[in-house]
Structure 1
């Protein structure tokens, strides 16, 4: 492999764009199925020190109250705070050479019907002159929980993991349970899924293949749940539960989420970084 990983970077970035296009198309087709013309508004984003991406947001649909699907490819020099955060995670060479490159896809969906679960998914590749790794995952965030929906979502994530290692699902599920926990509330923000980071087994192609399979698993994991729950009649009490749960989601993303912190500290477009926030939320 070349020292700068130019071929691998191009492959990863192209894949994230491809996955973005597939998801955007599937979500627009779902809106059309239920009689709306809601479409994604696509806005280019930029990072002052290098790179950018696309922020795609659909608002006011029959299915999605707000859903964002972002892709980015950024590069440059990490700032001091980001360097320290990387060094604390064990990334070598940050003090002597803070160059970096990163690309990924990030998705968050907030639904109209409170019986339809909110969802998050992202996958990414990160490179420095001294290290590379993949990260990502997906987690389900219902305000009104259905055991069969949780089982379906987890089964899809497990199937993606099992292709690559019989140990991955249990490890990544436990990691998600820990990562998506909200200490000040003493609870998880949802019913979990999988999460992994700093993945570098030494085999770039294999680690990339896992990341692709996680991305491919998303639509089969999520769309059937949405279509199953979309016809369910909901009440004012259901909506109240949804808005309060969204407050919980917002708290997590603003206080704890690693991607939010990195995006803001590295100078990426703030609107794109904060795309994950719900359009309306409530606190008691």
Structure 2
């Protein structure tokens, strides 16, 4: 597999980068069209690097973060392509998930996009999206999805977000949407709070049907669903009047988001365990949060 998979790796990495470019442009467009006295927000782009234990190059990516915009209080859109050898703890974790051959050959390659948006207006929902491909000499798979995290919920917004996800999944298999929705409901749950962190979405992990092309197309459509699912909600809610009580509700809800990402999120744990840039791994954390 290692000799014949370079084209697939290259195609996946290029897709995640192109999706990143499209989303960054769309988010800056939201900033430009929002009426405000302050300048429109722009992404600050930083190259990230991962080093192996011996100090050699092990890939990297781009961290794109906008802070203090008209619409977005903080939003990050990261892409990365990293490779090397998994350490003992990561090997053990992969073996526990059923990945074969890690003890014999711990090489890995991973590429993906990760996005989290925290909004200025408490009525505009926060959101998370990521898709990724993972490869070892013995296996490959895709993962990811997107989920909506409003602090003030609107049933119409939730319905729209889910309807767009379903419309993009149904052409692949009508059974996919209910399966990935249930997976998201289970995954994006905070056990110590006995509640979900948001209103759900779709999620998959370790997805490998054996048909790489079909699985890649599914992953692409999960990414393509994001902007039409999310942008109309921001456009509708960004001008909604809000008060100090609404902001307080938003800050408390962000505390839940921070708890989940630091305690349960697989991507956070993997990124930190494998030596990726900590600022890039933790860019999902909100700029301000509150606990009561």
Q: Is the 8 A contact 1:160 1:213 kept in 2?
A: yes
Q: Secondary structure at the match of 1:47?
A: strand
Query: Which runs of at least 4 in structure 1 moved beyond 2 Å after TM superposition?
Result: 1-4
Q: Cα offset for 1:223?
A: 0.4
Aligned to 2:42: 39
How far does the alpha carbon of each residue in 1:225-282 deviate from its partner, in whole angstroms, 9 at most, with x for none?
A: 0011111100111000000000000000000000000000010000000000000000
Q: Is the 8 A contact 1:117 1:226 kept in 2?
A: yes
- For 2:2 and 2:60, the matched residues in 1 are separated by 24
Counterpart check, 1:208 vs 2:243: no
Alignment of 1:105-184 (within 5 A): 105-184=113-192
1:197 aligns with: 205
* 2:55 alignment counterpart: none
2:7 — aligned with what?
7
Equivalents in 1 of 2:242, 2:220: separation in Å? 36
Aligned residue for 2:225, secondary structure, equals helix
- Alignment partners' CA distance in 2, 1:280 and 1:187: 21
* Residue 175 (structure 1) shift: 0.4
Alpha-carbon distance, 1:3 to partner: 3.5
Gaps of 5+ in 1: none
Contact 2:43 2:66 in 1 (8 A): yes
**TM-score with structure 1 setting the length:** 0.99
Residue-pair matches, total: 284
Structure 2 Cα separation of the partners of residues 256 and 168 of structure 1: 24
Query: C-alpha displacement at 1:62, in angstroms?
Result: 1.0
CA contact (8 A) 2:134 2:141 kept: yes
Aligned-residue offset at 1:37: 2.5
Supply the distance in 2 between the matched residues of 1:113 and 1:178 (Cα, whole angstroms). 28
State the SS of the aligned residue for 2:66: strand
The separation in 1 between residues aligned to 2:164 and 2:2, in whole angstroms, is 35
Paired position in structure 2 for 1:267:
275
Distance 1:255 1:28 in 2: 31
